[in-house]
Amino acid sequence: MVYYRKYRPQKIEELDSKDLRERLYPVLSSSVAHAFLFTGPKGLGKTSTARIVAKAVNCEKRFAINKEQKTKNKEQKGKILGSELKVKSVEDIEPCNECAQCISITNGSSLDVLEIDGASNRGIEEIRDLREKIKLLPVSAKKKVYIIDEVHMLTTDAFNALLKTLEEPPVHAMFIFCTTEAHKVPGTIVSRCFHVQFHIATDEELISSFHRIGKGEKLSIDEEVFGEVAKLSDGSFREGAKILEELVLVSGGEKITKELLEEKYQVASIKYYVENIVSHLKNKDTKFALSTVEDVIEKGTDIKYFLEQLISKLHVDLLMQVGVETETRNKKQEMSIEDIKRLVELFSKAHQELRYAVLPQLPLELAIIEWGIEKNNQLSVLSSQLSDNSQSVNQLTGKPKTDNRIWGQLIDKVKTHNHSLAGVLRGCSLKSFSDSELVIETSFQFHKEKLSEEKAVRVLEQVASEITGNPVKVLIELKGK
Protein backbone atom coordinates (compact mmCIF):
# COMPACT_ATOMS: atom_id res chain seq x y z
CA MET A 1 0.00 0.00 0.00
CA VAL A 2 2.88 2.33 -0.72
CA TYR A 3 0.97 4.42 -3.26
CA TYR A 4 -2.06 4.84 -1.09
CA ARG A 5 0.04 6.19 1.76
CA LYS A 6 2.35 8.18 -0.40
CA TYR A 7 -0.43 9.85 -2.35
CA ARG A 8 -2.96 10.36 0.36
CA PRO A 9 -4.41 13.85 0.07
CA GLN A 10 -2.71 16.49 2.21
CA LYS A 11 -5.16 19.30 1.63
CA ILE A 12 -8.91 19.61 1.40
CA GLU A 13 -8.47 20.66 -2.19
CA GLU A 14 -6.80 17.31 -2.89
CA LEU A 15 -9.69 15.25 -1.56
CA ASP A 16 -11.12 13.52 -4.58
CA SER A 17 -14.69 13.66 -3.35
CA LYS A 18 -16.31 16.95 -4.31
CA ASP A 19 -19.07 16.25 -1.84
CA LEU A 20 -16.55 15.98 0.97
CA ARG A 21 -14.76 19.19 0.03
CA GLU A 22 -18.04 21.06 0.00
CA ARG A 23 -18.93 19.75 3.45
CA LEU A 24 -15.59 20.59 5.00
CA TYR A 25 -14.84 24.09 3.75
CA PRO A 26 -17.77 25.80 5.48
CA VAL A 27 -17.37 23.96 8.78
CA LEU A 28 -13.67 24.77 8.91
CA SER A 29 -14.10 28.39 7.95
CA SER A 30 -15.83 29.36 11.17
CA SER A 31 -15.25 28.56 14.79
CA VAL A 32 -14.72 24.85 14.32
CA ALA A 33 -16.89 22.09 15.77
CA HIS A 34 -15.23 20.28 18.65
CA ALA A 35 -16.25 16.83 17.51
CA PHE A 36 -16.47 15.23 14.10
CA LEU A 37 -17.83 11.86 13.15
CA PHE A 38 -16.58 10.38 9.89
CA THR A 39 -18.53 7.35 8.71
CA GLY A 40 -18.39 5.20 5.60
CA PRO A 41 -16.86 2.10 4.02
CA LYS A 42 -13.18 1.22 4.18
CA GLY A 43 -10.60 2.77 1.91
CA LEU A 44 -12.28 6.12 1.34
CA GLY A 45 -9.76 8.22 3.24
CA LYS A 46 -11.45 8.87 6.58
CA THR A 47 -8.21 8.96 8.57
CA SER A 48 -6.44 10.94 5.85
CA THR A 49 -9.23 13.49 6.07
CA ALA A 50 -9.04 13.52 9.87
CA ARG A 51 -5.37 14.48 9.64
CA ILE A 52 -6.14 17.22 7.16
CA VAL A 53 -8.71 18.64 9.57
CA ALA A 54 -6.19 18.42 12.43
CA LYS A 55 -3.71 20.34 10.30
CA ALA A 56 -6.26 22.89 9.17
CA VAL A 57 -7.11 23.84 12.75
CA ASN A 58 -3.49 23.91 13.89
CA CYS A 59 -1.67 25.33 10.90
CA GLU A 60 0.49 28.29 11.90
CA LYS A 61 -0.60 30.13 8.81
CA ARG A 62 -4.10 30.19 10.22
CA PHE A 63 -2.96 31.83 13.47
CA ALA A 64 -1.16 34.45 11.49
CA ILE A 65 -4.33 35.27 9.61
CA ASN A 66 -6.37 35.39 12.76
CA LYS A 67 -3.85 37.60 14.53
CA GLU A 68 -3.80 39.94 11.59
CA GLN A 69 -7.57 40.08 11.57
CA LYS A 70 -7.79 40.61 15.30
CA THR A 71 -5.37 43.50 15.13
CA LYS A 72 -7.37 45.00 12.33
CA ASN A 73 -10.59 44.59 14.23
CA LYS A 74 -9.03 46.10 17.31
CA GLU A 75 -7.98 49.12 15.33
CA GLN A 76 -11.29 49.45 13.60
CA LYS A 77 -13.70 48.68 16.35
CA GLY A 78 -11.49 49.04 19.34
CA LYS A 79 -12.39 45.70 20.79
CA ILE A 80 -11.19 42.14 20.70
CA LEU A 81 -13.44 39.53 19.23
CA GLY A 82 -13.58 35.83 20.17
CA SER A 83 -10.50 33.65 20.27
CA GLU A 84 -10.97 32.45 16.72
CA LEU A 85 -12.18 34.63 13.92
CA LYS A 86 -13.62 33.77 10.58
CA VAL A 87 -11.01 33.10 7.97
CA LYS A 88 -11.45 34.82 4.69
CA SER A 89 -11.26 32.35 1.86
CA VAL A 90 -10.96 28.70 0.93
CA GLU A 91 -7.23 29.24 0.52
CA ASP A 92 -6.96 30.38 4.15
CA ILE A 93 -8.63 27.22 5.40
CA GLU A 94 -6.16 24.89 3.73
CA PRO A 95 -3.22 23.68 5.81
CA CYS A 96 0.07 25.03 4.44
CA ASN A 97 1.84 21.66 4.86
CA GLU A 98 5.04 23.62 5.45
CA CYS A 99 4.89 24.90 9.01
CA ALA A 100 6.15 22.92 11.99
CA GLN A 101 2.61 21.98 13.02
CA CYS A 102 1.59 20.69 9.60
CA ILE A 103 4.80 18.75 9.16
CA SER A 104 4.64 17.06 12.54
CA ILE A 105 1.01 16.05 11.97
CA THR A 106 1.81 14.63 8.54
CA ASN A 107 4.72 12.66 10.05
CA GLY A 108 2.63 11.44 12.92
CA SER A 109 5.11 12.96 15.36
CA SER A 110 2.88 15.68 16.76
CA LEU A 111 2.42 15.38 20.53
CA ASP A 112 -0.95 17.07 20.29
CA VAL A 113 -2.59 15.10 17.52
CA LEU A 114 -3.14 11.58 18.75
CA GLU A 115 -4.44 8.66 16.75
CA ILE A 116 -6.11 6.02 18.83
CA ASP A 117 -7.31 2.65 17.63
CA GLY A 118 -10.75 2.14 19.11
CA ALA A 119 -10.51 -1.62 18.71
CA SER A 120 -7.53 -1.98 21.04
CA ASN A 121 -8.47 0.85 23.43
CA ARG A 122 -12.09 0.04 23.85
CA GLY A 123 -12.48 -0.16 27.63
CA ILE A 124 -13.56 2.27 30.33
CA GLU A 125 -9.99 2.49 31.71
CA GLU A 126 -8.55 3.77 28.46
CA ILE A 127 -11.29 6.36 28.08
CA ARG A 128 -10.87 7.53 31.68
CA ASP A 129 -7.19 7.94 31.01
CA LEU A 130 -8.02 9.93 27.87
CA ARG A 131 -10.39 12.14 29.86
CA GLU A 132 -7.64 13.01 32.32
CA LYS A 133 -5.08 13.78 29.66
CA ILE A 134 -7.36 15.83 27.51
CA LYS A 135 -7.64 18.40 30.27
CA LEU A 136 -3.96 19.24 29.88
CA LEU A 137 -3.14 22.04 27.50
CA PRO A 138 -1.63 21.15 24.12
CA VAL A 139 2.18 21.12 24.06
CA SER A 140 2.63 23.34 21.05
CA ALA A 141 -0.50 23.13 18.88
CA LYS A 142 -3.57 25.26 19.23
CA LYS A 143 -5.86 22.29 19.51
CA LYS A 144 -5.30 18.90 20.97
CA VAL A 145 -6.90 16.52 18.47
CA TYR A 146 -7.91 12.98 19.28
CA ILE A 147 -8.54 10.85 16.21
CA ILE A 148 -10.29 7.68 17.30
CA ASP A 149 -10.47 5.10 14.57
CA GLU A 150 -12.99 2.24 14.63
CA VAL A 151 -14.79 4.10 17.39
CA HIS A 152 -17.77 1.71 17.19
CA MET A 153 -15.62 -0.85 19.02
CA LEU A 154 -15.80 1.06 22.33
CA THR A 155 -17.75 -0.58 25.12
CA THR A 156 -20.96 0.99 26.39
CA ASP A 157 -19.19 2.16 29.56
CA ALA A 158 -16.44 3.68 27.51
CA PHE A 159 -18.98 5.50 25.34
CA ASN A 160 -20.71 6.83 28.44
CA ALA A 161 -17.43 8.13 29.82
CA LEU A 162 -16.64 9.71 26.48
CA LEU A 163 -20.04 11.34 26.38
CA LYS A 164 -19.29 13.29 29.57
CA THR A 165 -16.23 14.81 27.93
CA LEU A 166 -18.19 15.56 24.80
CA GLU A 167 -20.83 17.39 26.82
CA GLU A 168 -18.28 19.74 28.32
CA PRO A 169 -15.18 19.61 26.18
CA PRO A 170 -12.14 21.71 27.09
CA VAL A 171 -11.81 24.63 24.65
CA HIS A 172 -8.47 23.33 23.41
CA ALA A 173 -9.75 19.82 22.61
CA MET A 174 -11.17 18.32 19.48
CA PHE A 175 -12.35 14.82 18.61
CA ILE A 176 -12.52 13.13 15.26
CA PHE A 177 -14.24 9.76 15.38
CA CYS A 178 -13.98 7.43 12.42
CA THR A 179 -16.00 4.30 11.82
CA THR A 180 -17.15 1.92 9.14
CA GLU A 181 -20.22 1.08 11.22
CA ALA A 182 -22.10 4.24 12.00
CA HIS A 183 -25.12 2.37 13.36
CA LYS A 184 -23.04 1.04 16.27
CA VAL A 185 -22.26 4.52 17.55
CA PRO A 186 -24.79 5.63 20.21
CA GLY A 187 -27.16 8.38 19.14
CA THR A 188 -26.09 10.53 22.09
CA ILE A 189 -22.56 10.63 20.65
CA VAL A 190 -23.69 11.13 17.05
CA SER A 191 -25.87 14.09 17.99
CA ARG A 192 -22.88 15.88 19.50
CA CYS A 193 -20.73 15.53 16.43
CA PHE A 194 -20.51 17.16 13.07
CA HIS A 195 -21.34 14.08 11.03
CA VAL A 196 -19.66 13.59 7.66
CA GLN A 197 -20.66 10.60 5.63
CA PHE A 198 -18.08 9.26 3.18
CA HIS A 199 -19.58 7.84 0.04
CA ILE A 200 -18.27 5.15 -2.26
CA ALA A 201 -16.09 6.86 -4.81
CA THR A 202 -17.40 7.38 -8.32
CA ASP A 203 -15.31 6.23 -11.28
CA GLU A 204 -14.53 9.87 -11.99
CA GLU A 205 -13.20 10.45 -8.47
CA LEU A 206 -11.17 7.27 -8.58
CA ILE A 207 -9.66 8.21 -11.92
CA SER A 208 -8.70 11.62 -10.59
CA SER A 209 -6.89 9.95 -7.67
CA PHE A 210 -5.11 7.58 -10.09
CA HIS A 211 -3.95 10.54 -12.14
CA ARG A 212 -2.29 11.96 -9.05
CA ILE A 213 -0.42 8.67 -8.59
CA GLY A 214 0.39 8.34 -12.29
CA LYS A 215 1.82 11.84 -12.38
CA GLY A 216 3.75 11.49 -9.14
CA GLU A 217 5.30 8.17 -10.12
CA LYS A 218 5.80 9.25 -13.75
CA LEU A 219 4.03 6.07 -14.81
CA SER A 220 3.86 5.08 -18.43
CA ILE A 221 0.26 4.00 -18.58
CA ASP A 222 -2.58 3.98 -21.10
CA GLU A 223 -5.36 6.36 -20.17
CA GLU A 224 -8.02 3.69 -20.66
CA VAL A 225 -6.35 1.55 -17.98
CA PHE A 226 -7.44 4.09 -15.36
CA GLY A 227 -11.06 3.57 -16.30
CA GLU A 228 -10.73 -0.20 -16.13
CA VAL A 229 -8.96 -0.07 -12.76
CA ALA A 230 -11.73 2.19 -11.46
CA LYS A 231 -14.25 -0.50 -12.36
CA LEU A 232 -12.23 -3.06 -10.43
CA SER A 233 -11.79 -0.85 -7.35
CA ASP A 234 -15.21 -1.28 -5.77
CA GLY A 235 -15.43 2.43 -5.10
CA SER A 236 -12.39 2.37 -2.82
CA PHE A 237 -9.39 4.66 -3.32
CA ARG A 238 -7.25 2.27 -1.34
CA GLU A 239 -8.24 -0.73 -3.44
CA GLY A 240 -7.64 1.19 -6.67
CA ALA A 241 -4.19 2.33 -5.53
CA LYS A 242 -3.37 -1.27 -4.64
CA ILE A 243 -4.35 -2.54 -8.09
CA LEU A 244 -2.26 0.16 -9.76
CA GLU A 245 0.70 -0.78 -7.64
CA GLU A 246 0.35 -4.45 -8.58
CA LEU A 247 0.17 -3.52 -12.25
CA VAL A 248 3.35 -1.49 -11.97
CA LEU A 249 5.07 -4.47 -10.36
CA VAL A 250 4.03 -6.96 -13.04
CA SER A 251 4.75 -4.54 -15.88
CA GLY A 252 8.45 -4.62 -15.03
CA GLY A 253 8.96 -1.07 -16.24
CA GLU A 254 7.10 -1.59 -19.53
CA LYS A 255 4.16 0.58 -20.48
CA ILE A 256 1.00 -0.42 -18.65
CA THR A 257 -1.58 -1.30 -21.25
CA LYS A 258 -5.10 -2.59 -21.21
CA GLU A 259 -3.76 -5.95 -22.40
CA LEU A 260 -1.52 -6.19 -19.35
CA LEU A 261 -4.45 -5.43 -17.10
CA GLU A 262 -6.54 -8.05 -18.87
CA GLU A 263 -3.82 -10.58 -18.39
CA LYS A 264 -3.36 -9.73 -14.76
CA TYR A 265 -7.04 -9.70 -13.93
CA GLN A 266 -8.01 -12.50 -16.28
CA VAL A 267 -10.28 -10.18 -18.15
CA ALA A 268 -9.73 -12.42 -21.16
CA SER A 269 -11.20 -15.34 -19.31
CA ILE A 270 -14.04 -13.12 -18.16
CA LYS A 271 -14.80 -12.48 -21.82
CA TYR A 272 -14.79 -16.17 -22.38
CA TYR A 273 -17.24 -16.78 -19.54
CA VAL A 274 -19.43 -13.98 -20.80
CA GLU A 275 -19.63 -15.64 -24.23
CA ASN A 276 -20.29 -18.93 -22.54
CA ILE A 277 -23.11 -17.72 -20.35
CA VAL A 278 -24.81 -15.91 -23.23
CA SER A 279 -24.75 -19.02 -25.37
CA HIS A 280 -26.27 -21.08 -22.54
CA LEU A 281 -28.98 -18.48 -22.08
CA LYS A 282 -29.68 -18.55 -25.77
CA ASN A 283 -30.07 -22.33 -25.55
CA LYS A 284 -32.30 -21.92 -22.48
CA ASP A 285 -29.82 -23.98 -20.48
CA THR A 286 -30.44 -22.52 -17.05
CA LYS A 287 -28.43 -25.24 -15.40
CA PHE A 288 -25.31 -24.63 -17.49
CA ALA A 289 -25.64 -20.90 -17.18
CA LEU A 290 -25.73 -21.31 -13.39
CA SER A 291 -22.71 -23.56 -13.37
CA THR A 292 -20.82 -20.95 -15.38
CA VAL A 293 -21.62 -18.49 -12.58
CA GLU A 294 -20.19 -21.03 -10.18
CA ASP A 295 -16.98 -21.17 -12.24
CA VAL A 296 -16.78 -17.40 -12.29
CA ILE A 297 -17.06 -17.32 -8.49
CA GLU A 298 -14.50 -20.07 -8.10
CA LYS A 299 -12.05 -18.05 -10.15
CA GLY A 300 -12.49 -15.22 -7.70
CA THR A 301 -13.82 -12.89 -10.39
CA ASP A 302 -15.61 -9.80 -9.15
CA ILE A 303 -19.31 -10.37 -9.88
CA LYS A 304 -20.04 -6.69 -10.34
CA TYR A 305 -17.39 -6.44 -13.00
CA PHE A 306 -18.61 -9.65 -14.59
CA LEU A 307 -22.18 -8.35 -14.78
CA GLU A 308 -20.98 -5.12 -16.33
CA GLN A 309 -19.08 -7.05 -18.97
CA LEU A 310 -22.13 -9.21 -19.59
CA ILE A 311 -24.38 -6.19 -20.01
CA SER A 312 -21.96 -4.43 -22.31
CA LYS A 313 -21.70 -7.53 -24.49
CA LEU A 314 -25.48 -7.73 -24.77
CA HIS A 315 -25.57 -4.02 -25.47
CA VAL A 316 -23.26 -4.49 -28.44
CA ASP A 317 -25.38 -7.44 -29.60
CA LEU A 318 -28.46 -5.32 -29.39
CA LEU A 319 -26.92 -2.55 -31.45
CA MET A 320 -25.76 -5.06 -34.03
CA GLN A 321 -29.21 -6.56 -34.24
CA VAL A 322 -30.71 -3.20 -35.09
CA GLY A 323 -27.99 -2.63 -37.63
CA VAL A 324 -25.71 -0.19 -35.80
CA GLU A 325 -22.04 -0.73 -36.51
CA THR A 326 -20.00 -0.95 -33.33
CA GLU A 327 -16.31 -0.90 -32.64
CA THR A 328 -16.31 -4.14 -30.73
CA ARG A 329 -16.71 -6.96 -33.14
CA ASN A 330 -18.88 -9.62 -31.60
CA LYS A 331 -19.92 -12.82 -33.18
CA LYS A 332 -23.35 -12.41 -34.73
CA GLN A 333 -25.85 -13.23 -32.07
CA GLU A 334 -28.78 -15.36 -33.07
CA MET A 335 -31.04 -14.09 -30.34
CA SER A 336 -34.00 -11.91 -31.14
CA ILE A 337 -34.03 -8.24 -30.22
CA GLU A 338 -36.78 -8.97 -27.70
CA ASP A 339 -34.68 -11.63 -25.99
CA ILE A 340 -31.56 -9.50 -25.79
CA LYS A 341 -33.58 -6.59 -24.49
CA ARG A 342 -35.13 -8.77 -21.80
CA LEU A 343 -31.71 -10.08 -20.73
CA VAL A 344 -30.33 -6.57 -20.50
CA GLU A 345 -33.28 -5.66 -18.27
CA LEU A 346 -32.80 -8.69 -16.03
CA PHE A 347 -29.06 -8.16 -15.64
CA SER A 348 -29.38 -4.43 -15.08
CA LYS A 349 -31.79 -5.19 -12.28
CA ALA A 350 -29.33 -7.74 -10.87
CA HIS A 351 -26.58 -5.12 -11.04
CA GLN A 352 -28.67 -2.68 -9.02
CA GLU A 353 -29.49 -5.29 -6.41
CA LEU A 354 -25.85 -6.31 -6.01
CA ARG A 355 -25.18 -3.69 -3.38
CA TYR A 356 -27.68 -5.22 -0.96
CA ALA A 357 -27.12 -8.87 -1.82
CA VAL A 358 -26.27 -11.33 0.94
CA LEU A 359 -24.22 -13.36 -1.54
CA PRO A 360 -22.70 -11.46 -4.44
CA GLN A 361 -23.71 -14.07 -7.03
CA LEU A 362 -27.34 -14.21 -5.90
CA PRO A 363 -28.85 -11.42 -8.03
CA LEU A 364 -27.17 -12.82 -11.15
CA GLU A 365 -28.38 -16.34 -10.38
CA LEU A 366 -31.91 -15.12 -9.76
CA ALA A 367 -31.87 -13.26 -13.07
CA ILE A 368 -30.81 -16.43 -14.86
CA ILE A 369 -33.50 -18.46 -13.12
CA GLU A 370 -36.12 -15.87 -13.97
CA TRP A 371 -35.05 -15.99 -17.59
CA GLY A 372 -35.20 -19.80 -17.49
CA ILE A 373 -38.73 -19.74 -16.12
CA GLU A 374 -39.91 -17.26 -18.74
CA LYS A 375 -38.27 -19.22 -21.53
CA ASN A 376 -39.52 -22.59 -20.35
CA ASN A 377 -43.03 -21.27 -20.34
CA GLN A 378 -42.53 -20.22 -23.92
CA LEU A 379 -40.90 -23.55 -24.71
CA SER A 380 -43.74 -25.61 -23.34
CA VAL A 381 -46.17 -23.56 -25.43
CA LEU A 382 -43.98 -24.17 -28.46
CA SER A 383 -43.56 -27.86 -27.87
CA SER A 384 -47.28 -28.41 -27.45
CA GLN A 385 -47.74 -26.68 -30.80
CA LEU A 386 -45.17 -28.94 -32.40
CA SER A 387 -46.89 -31.94 -30.80
CA ASP A 388 -44.48 -34.83 -30.32
CA ASN A 389 -42.32 -34.13 -33.34
CA SER A 390 -39.11 -34.15 -31.36
CA GLN A 391 -39.78 -37.65 -30.03
CA SER A 392 -39.46 -39.19 -33.48
CA VAL A 393 -36.02 -37.78 -34.14
CA ASN A 394 -32.96 -39.99 -33.69
CA GLN A 395 -31.97 -39.84 -30.02
CA LEU A 396 -28.28 -39.38 -30.67
CA THR A 397 -27.85 -37.32 -33.79
CA GLY A 398 -31.08 -35.37 -33.90
CA LYS A 399 -32.23 -32.02 -32.63
CA PRO A 400 -30.08 -29.62 -30.65
CA LYS A 401 -32.40 -30.12 -27.70
CA THR A 402 -31.59 -33.81 -27.55
CA ASP A 403 -27.94 -33.07 -28.14
CA ASN A 404 -28.05 -30.71 -25.20
CA ARG A 405 -29.44 -33.44 -23.01
CA ILE A 406 -26.73 -35.92 -23.99
CA TRP A 407 -24.11 -33.22 -23.58
CA GLY A 408 -25.42 -32.38 -20.12
CA GLN A 409 -25.43 -36.02 -19.17
CA LEU A 410 -21.85 -36.38 -20.37
CA ILE A 411 -20.64 -33.36 -18.39
CA ASP A 412 -22.42 -34.53 -15.25
CA LYS A 413 -20.82 -37.95 -15.51
CA VAL A 414 -17.37 -36.51 -16.28
CA LYS A 415 -17.70 -34.29 -13.24
CA THR A 416 -17.78 -37.33 -10.97
CA HIS A 417 -14.41 -38.39 -12.42
CA ASN A 418 -12.68 -35.10 -12.91
CA HIS A 419 -14.03 -31.74 -11.83
CA SER A 420 -11.76 -29.52 -13.88
CA LEU A 421 -12.29 -31.56 -17.02
CA ALA A 422 -16.04 -30.99 -16.66
CA GLY A 423 -15.27 -27.29 -16.35
CA VAL A 424 -13.40 -27.33 -19.66
CA LEU A 425 -16.24 -29.22 -21.32
CA ARG A 426 -18.71 -26.54 -20.32
CA GLY A 427 -16.82 -24.16 -22.56
CA CYS A 428 -17.05 -26.55 -25.51
CA SER A 429 -19.93 -27.92 -27.49
CA LEU A 430 -21.01 -31.24 -28.90
CA LYS A 431 -20.57 -31.39 -32.66
CA SER A 432 -21.89 -34.86 -33.21
CA PHE A 433 -22.51 -38.02 -31.27
CA SER A 434 -23.23 -41.47 -32.66
CA ASP A 435 -23.09 -44.97 -31.23
CA SER A 436 -19.38 -45.21 -31.96
CA GLU A 437 -18.07 -41.66 -32.18
CA LEU A 438 -18.24 -38.48 -30.14
CA VAL A 439 -16.98 -35.21 -31.66
CA ILE A 440 -16.39 -32.29 -29.34
CA GLU A 441 -15.89 -28.82 -30.72
CA THR A 442 -14.02 -25.93 -29.11
CA SER A 443 -12.92 -22.43 -30.10
CA PHE A 444 -9.80 -22.57 -27.96
CA GLN A 445 -6.53 -24.29 -28.72
CA PHE A 446 -5.78 -24.75 -25.00
CA HIS A 447 -9.09 -26.53 -24.53
CA LYS A 448 -8.29 -28.83 -27.41
CA GLU A 449 -4.93 -29.62 -25.84
CA LYS A 450 -6.44 -30.20 -22.45
CA LEU A 451 -9.13 -32.52 -23.77
CA SER A 452 -6.67 -34.40 -25.97
CA GLU A 453 -4.52 -35.41 -23.02
CA GLU A 454 -4.47 -39.15 -22.63
CA LYS A 455 -6.06 -39.07 -19.20
CA ALA A 456 -8.88 -36.83 -20.44
CA VAL A 457 -9.57 -38.96 -23.51
CA ARG A 458 -9.76 -42.07 -21.33
CA VAL A 459 -12.39 -40.49 -19.05
CA LEU A 460 -14.39 -39.13 -22.00
CA GLU A 461 -14.41 -42.45 -23.82
CA GLN A 462 -15.38 -44.35 -20.71
CA VAL A 463 -18.25 -41.98 -19.93
CA ALA A 464 -19.49 -41.87 -23.54
CA SER A 465 -19.44 -45.66 -23.66
CA GLU A 466 -21.50 -45.81 -20.48
CA ILE A 467 -24.11 -43.58 -22.10
CA THR A 468 -24.40 -45.50 -25.40
CA GLY A 469 -23.56 -48.94 -24.11
CA ASN A 470 -20.99 -49.34 -26.94
CA PRO A 471 -17.27 -48.52 -27.18
CA VAL A 472 -17.02 -44.87 -28.30
CA LYS A 473 -14.12 -43.02 -29.88
CA VAL A 474 -13.66 -39.36 -28.84
CA LEU A 475 -12.44 -36.67 -31.24
CA ILE A 476 -11.68 -33.05 -30.38
CA GLU A 477 -11.92 -30.43 -33.11
CA LEU A 478 -11.16 -26.74 -33.27
CA LYS A 479 -14.17 -24.74 -34.37
CA GLY A 480 -13.99 -23.53 -37.95
CA LYS A 481 -11.15 -25.89 -38.89
Least distance between Zn ion and beta carbon 44 (Å): 24
Q: Residue 116 in contact with residue 148, Cβ under 8 Å?
A: yes
- CA distance readout (Å), 462 to 94, 369, 422, 459: 74, 32, 14, 5
Query: Among the candidate windows 80-88, 95-103, 191-199, 314-322, which touches Zn ion by CB under 5 A?
Result: 95-103
CA distance 145 to 54: 6
206 binds Zn ion, rule: CB under 5 A: no
CA distance 2 to 11: 19
CA distance 245 to 254: 14
124 binds Zn ion, rule: CB under 5 A: no
Closest CB to Zn ion among residues 107, 391: 107
Q: Residue 224 in contact with residue 255, Cβ under 8 Å?
A: no
Least distance between Zn ion and beta carbon 130 (Å): 26
Closest CB to Zn ion among residues 94, 234: 94
Query: Among the candidate windows 93-101, 192-200, 320-328, 442-450, which touches Zn ion by CB under 5 A?
Result: 93-101
Question: Could you please report the per-residue DSSP string of 123-171?
Answer: SHHHHHHHHHHHTSPPSSSSSEEEEEETGGGS-HHHHHHHHHHHHS--T
Closest CB to Zn ion among residues 96, 290: 96
Closest CB to Zn ion among residues 174, 314: 174
Closest CB to Zn ion among residues 34, 62: 62
- The secondary element (H helix, E strand) that includes residue 105 is helix 100-107
By CB under 5 A, name the one of 24, 50, 99, 274 that touches Zn ion: 99
Q: Where would I find the beta strands (DSSP E) of 235-385?
A: none
CA distance 143 to 471: 86
* DSSP structural state of residue 437: E
Q: Total number of residues binding Zn ion (CB under 5 A)?
A: 5
Least distance between Zn ion and beta carbon 32 (Å): 15
Least distance between Zn ion and beta carbon 104 (Å): 10
Closest CB to Zn ion among residues 63, 194: 63
Least distance between Zn ion and beta carbon 98 (Å): 6
319 binds Zn ion, rule: CB under 5 A: no
229 binds Zn ion, rule: CB under 5 A: no
Least distance between Zn ion and beta carbon 58 (Å): 7
Coil/strand/helix, residue 397 = coil
Backbone angles phi, psi at 179, to 5 degrees: -160, 150
- The secondary element (H helix, E strand) that includes residue 296 is helix 286-298
Least distance between Zn ion and beta carbon 56 (Å): 9
Query: Among the candidate windows 96-104, 315-323, 334-342, 456-464, which touches Zn ion by CB under 5 A?
Result: 96-104
Query: Among the candidate windows 100-108, 174-182, 245-253, 327-335, which touches Zn ion by CB under 5 A?
Result: 100-108
Least distance between Zn ion and beta carbon 299 (Å): 49
103 binds Zn ion, rule: CB under 5 A: no
Least distance between Zn ion and beta carbon 93 (Å): 11
CA distance 75 to 77: 6
Q: What is the pattern of x (binds Zn ion, CB under 5 A) and - over residues 27-66?
A: --------------------------------x-------
Closest CB to Zn ion among residues 92, 285: 92
Closest CB to Zn ion among residues 95, 214: 95
User: Which residue type, as a one-letter code, is found at position 274?
Assistant: V
Q: What is the dihedral of CA 387, 388, 394, 397, to 10 degrees?
A: 50
Q: Residue 7 in contact with residue 165, Cβ under 8 Å?
A: no
Query: Among the candidate windows 91-99, 144-152, 393-401, 472-480, which touches Zn ion by CB under 5 A?
Result: 91-99
- Is the CA virtual torsion 290, 363, 360, 43 positive or negative? positive
* DSSP structural state of residue 472: -
CA distance 53 to 11: 9
Closest CB to Zn ion among residues 9, 214: 9
Would you call 302 exposed, middle or buried from its count of C-beta atoms within 10 A (0-12, 13-18, 19+)? middle
By CB under 5 A, name the one of 20, 57, 102, 201 that touches Zn ion: 102
By CB under 5 A, name the one of 96, 153, 182, 290 that touches Zn ion: 96
Least distance between Zn ion and beta carbon 95 (Å): 5
Which residues of the chain form contacts with Zn ion (CB under 5 A)? 59, 95-96, 99, 102
